[in-house]
Amino acid sequence: MIEVAVRRLRPDAEIPGQAYEGDAGLDLAACEPAVLEPGERAIVPTGVAVEIPEGYAGFVQPRSGLAARHGIGIVNSPGLIDSGYRGEIRVVLLNTGREPFSVEAGMRIAQLVIAPVASVRLVEVDELAASERGSQGFGSSAS
């Protein structure tokens, strides 16, 4: 288990937490209210910042219940938080539903998953190694 430092940037901000022991995601709560009309997006602050260790990244994911019941998703899903970022976590919500959606302060709006990431160095080459798939792209495995 790794430890991740978290800083409350506003007194009313909720520290992210797991709903159940063993959950992969930490619930992120809104720190301010917002109303999203159908088709609208809003940047919703959480009032917290995290210190993700080097070799890890944070991924902000939608909450399945909000998506299923209200059509609320995250525009840039998953949102990426690099280990060097120390600013407030803000979530770009999108209302794909047919009704306005109200975000209340304290409402769980997203999940934060912290996962290890590989450190890579790109090497430019003239040719790539052959593979069975090759350059077949979108829909290439559909029957």
User: Which one is predicted more confidently, 134 or 3?
Assistant: 3
What rounded mean pLDDT belongs to the chain?
94
Nearby residues of 70 by Cβ (< 8 Å), 6 or more positions away: 95, 97, 99, 101
User: What pLDDT is recorded for position 29?
Assistant: 98
pTM of the model as a whole: 0.87
59, 47, 51, 62: which is closest to 2 by C-alpha?
51
Which of 112, 91, 84, 93 has the alpha carbon at shortest distance from 38?
A: 93
Q: What is the pLDDT of residue 92?
A: 97
Residue 135 has pLDDT above 90, yes or no: no
Query: Architecture of 5-116 per CATH?
Result: Distorted Sandwich (2.70)
Q: How far apart are CA 138 and CA 116, in angstroms?
A: 27
Mean predicted confidence (pLDDT) in 21-47: 96
Q: Are 69 and 38 in contact (CB under 8 A)?
A: no
- Predicted pLDDT of residue 10: 96
* 89, two tokens: 């976590």
Rounded-to-integer distance, Cα 40 and Cα 71, Å: 11
Q: What are phi and psi of 108, to 5 degrees?
A: -75, 120
Average pLDDT on 2-19 reads 96
> 57's torsion region: left (phi>0), alpha (psi -120 to 50) or beta?
beta
- Cα–Cα distance measured from residue 64 to residue 46, given in angstroms and rounded to the nearest whole number: 18
Tens-place pLDDT, residues 48-98 = 999 999 999 999 999 999 999 999 999 998 999 999 999 999 999 999 999
So what's the pLDDT on residue 26? Answer: 97
Query: Domain locations in the chain?
Result: 5-116
Query: What is the pLDDT, as a whole number, of residue 140?
Result: 66
Is pLDDT at 143 greater than 70 in this prediction? Answer: no
Predicted local confidence at residue 136, as pLDDT = 79
